[in-house]
Amino acid sequence: MTRIRLGSVAYLNARPLVYGLDRNPRFDLRYDIPAECARLLHAHEIDLGLIPSIEYLRGPRPYGIVLGVAVASKGPVASVAIYTRKEPRDVRTLAMDTTSRTSVALATVLMRRVFDATPEPVPMQPDLERMLQTADAALLIGDYALFVDHEAIGVRKIDLGQLWTEHTGLPFVYAFWAGWPRAVDVEEVAMLQDARDQGVAHVDDIARVHYPNDPVRQKITSRYLRDNIWYSLEVEGLNTFYRYAAEEGLVSFDGELRFYDAVDRKPR
């Protein structure tokens, strides 16, 4: 039996979605940064990828989507944020960690729609103090955003998950499983949903593995995975993001999402 080539992002918040999949003989799992995961899928070097949601509209469509499974938030996400000492409407340059293109697109959309600001992007490595020496504001994602002490350097944190939900009333979807036609069948979709359920049930174990010998970070990580991240694909929020991104000229969107055949099983 040919194994399904899975590409997951290496970030902490994706770990519950791949819980136990490295031991499942149906899957061959690898980890990459989000942009590389998307590139591998577009190049057909993997069959199914946990890709940044914006990349669904940038590949050789039509990709299929695994129903019900995603990295999402309903309010504060903690790990995707803009940092600045200025009023957001006065931000003219935005230093960006560009490893996740969805976060870049989300920042672009929200700065324009909420603050009527269109800052010039400045690609940089994730180092908050250096970013703010170069630009008016900084976009950080992932573990760096989760743990950086912005208050120590007198910087305001604008949580983009919270800002999105305040602006739209909807969840935001950062990433989901997408792949080539017939990459997975109903049984394999169920396996991915089961992995999600098991991962959500074992976030404390994931935190201990991710930060061994660091009880403080383990506690923060467990709370983050349990309280900030929602592992269900919320279609209305995704459609709204795509529509807004298209209005900003970031992508084109025909209004249609294509799903693999499966039963929609919400997280337990």
Evaluate the CA torsion angle 242, 231, 169, 80 in order and state its sign. Answer: negative
Structure confidence at residue 263 (pLDDT):
55
Per-residue pLDDT of 34-78, as tens digits, reads: 889 999 999 999 999 999 999 999 877 679 999 999 999 999 999
Q: Which residue has the higher pLDDT, 171 or 265?
A: 171
Note whether 118 and 112 are within 8 A (CB). yes
**Reported pTM:** 0.93
Per-residue pLDDT of 74-108, as tens digits, reads: 999 999 999 999 999 999 999 997 777 899 999 99
Amino acid found at 11: Y
Per-residue pLDDT of 207-262, as tens digits, reads: 999 999 999 999 999 999 999 999 999 999 999 999 999 999 999 998 889 999 86
Concatenating the DSSP letter of every residue in 61-115 gives SPPEEEEEEEEEESS--SSEEEEESS-GGG--EEEE-TT-HHHHHHHHHHHHHHH
Cβ atoms within 10 Å, residue 264: 13
Element (H, E) at 134: helix 128-134
**CA–CA separation, 233 vs 237, rounded Å?**
9
Tell me whether the CATH fold assigned to 4-74+171-236 matches the one assigned to 80-168. yes
Burial of residue 133, with CB atoms counted within 10 A of its CB: 0-12 exposed, 13-18 middle, 19 or more buried: exposed
Residue ranges covered by each domain of the chain: 4-74+171-236, 80-168
Is CATH 3.40.190.10 the right assignment for the domain spanning 80-168? yes
Residues for the chain: how many in total?
268
Per-residue pLDDT of 163-213, as tens digits, reads: 999 999 999 999 999 999 999 999 999 999 999 999 999 999 999 999 999
Q: What is the mean predicted confidence (pLDDT) over 94-123?
A: 92
CATH architecture for the domain at 4-74+171-236:
3-Layer(aba) Sandwich (3.40)
Q: Which two tokens stand for residue 181?
A: 């036609």
| Distances, alpha carbon 137 to alpha carbons 78, 79, 151, 258, in Å | 17, 16, 15, 36
Element (H, E) at 7: strand 4-9
pLDDT band at 268, cuts 50/70/90?
very low
